[in-house]
Amino acid sequence: MFSRAAARERKIEIQSVSYLETDSIFFFIDCVPNVITLGKIQQGANNFQFAVHNNHEKSLKISAIKTEGDLVDFTYAGSVPSKGSVLVQATTATKLPNGIFSFPILIYFAGYDAPIRLMLLGETPK
């Protein structure tokens, strides 16, 4: 059991502070959902989709959408309109990792170095 006096004496230390630049893509883009859970799926082509929302005053060009090992093929409009959205259609590769898997989906935009990162989760038979 801890005493209240000891609780008042606890202190924290901030090790570092990072700031996002005001022109960072993270201020403008939202993806829904940002974690895509496929659940238990069979090997082969599985379809899913997600939306990319642009809160910026200008349209933003999607330069690439990638996964490790090209495990997913993506179909999408070339750009996201100002204050608008696009729907990204995705199809998994015919051969996914066996068992439980998770890997990032990286969305790159023209003029921005850092990608938006989504996570894809699922499970295939072992």
Q: How far is CA 115 from CA 3, 45, 89, 97, 106, in A?
A: 47, 25, 18, 24, 6
pTM value is 0.78
Closest to 67 in 3D by CA, of 84, 82, 86, 50: 50
Q: 63, 25 in Cβ contact below 8 A?
A: no
Compute the C-alpha angle 84/86/87, nearest 5°. 145
Q: What CATH class is the domain 4-124? A: mainly beta
Digit-coded pLDDT (tens) for 17-35: 765 555 678 788 988 999 9
Residue-level pLDDT at 17 = 72
User: So where are the chain's domains?
Assistant: 4-124
Q: What's the token pair of residue 63?
A: 């330069």
Residue 8: pLDDT above 80? no
User: How sure is the predictor about 37, in pLDDT bands with cuts at 50, 70 and 90?
Assistant: very high
Digit-coded pLDDT (tens) for 79-126: 999 999 999 999 998 788 889 999 999 999 999 989 999 999 999 988
